[in-house]
């Protein structure tokens, strides 16, 4: 009913297991990296909020314009330093993530390649077997279809050979001769 077998072959199962393990480890690495980026962003936001709160307190405590400008300028450099540190930490996390993904891929590449090779071999073998079965089925069907025609051709050839060799005539040609001979006998019987 279905062109493919119902049961899952061991090669397919092992390849799917290898792929699932690989994808699970990649997802785990990506999630860990994403978690680190989120933690880094939370730390940056906390530091920036603290800086903003402290800058706001200094601005409210300032008496003159000079003190306000001085307080604002003094807070600009630490905020820039924190953003630069965040950017460097983010770059380091990206590099670490890339190294981790390369490690996971290397760890699983050999097993995945082996199971993929086994799966390809099994698919090729199964396809070859099914093709051979299909060819045999078609040949058997053609033999069955041609068989009645071959018997009819053999019978015609035998009948033609019989006629050429002067063998007994078929029933159809014997009947008219007997009828003509039978018709002549009564005529001879009347004369004699």
- One-character DSSP codes across 107-163: HHHHHHHHHHHHHHHHHHHHHHHHHHHHHHHHHHHHHHHHHHHHHHHHHHHHHHHHH
Q: Is the pLDDT of residue 62 over 70?
A: yes
How does residue 162 score in pLDDT terms, banded at 50, 70 and 90? confident
| pTM, full prediction | 0.54
Q: What is the largest CA-CA distance in the chain?
A: 170
Mean pLDDT is lowest, of 6-10, 62-66, 109-113, for 6-10
Nearest one of 38, 16, 26, 15 to 121, comparing CA atoms: 15
Higher-confidence residue of 172 and 46: namely 46
């Amino acid at each position: 009913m279905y062109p493919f077998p119902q049961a899952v072959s061991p090669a397919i199962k092992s390849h799917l297991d290898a792929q699932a393990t690989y994808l699970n480890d990649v997802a785990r690495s990506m999630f860990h990296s994403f978690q680190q980026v989120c933690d880094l962003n939370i730390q940056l936001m906390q530091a920036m909020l603290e800086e903003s709160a402290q800058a706001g307190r200094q601005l409210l405590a300032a008496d003159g314009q000079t003190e306000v400008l001085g307080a604002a300028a003094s807070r600009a450099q630490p905020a820039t330093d924190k953003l630069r540190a965040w950017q460097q930490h983010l770059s380091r996390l990206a590099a670490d993530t890339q190294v981790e993904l390369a490690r996971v891929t290397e760890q699983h590449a050999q097993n995945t390649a082996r199971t993929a090779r086994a799966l390809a071999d099994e698919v090729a073998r199964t396809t070859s077997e099914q093709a051979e079965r299909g060819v045999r089925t078609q040949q058997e069907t053609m033999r069955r279809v041609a068989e009645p025609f071959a018997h009819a051709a053999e019978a015609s050839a035998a009948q033609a050979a019989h006629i050429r060799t002067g063998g007994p005539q078929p029933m159809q040609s014997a009947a008219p001769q007997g009828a003509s001979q039978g018709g002549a006998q009564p005529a001879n019987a009347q004369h004699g």
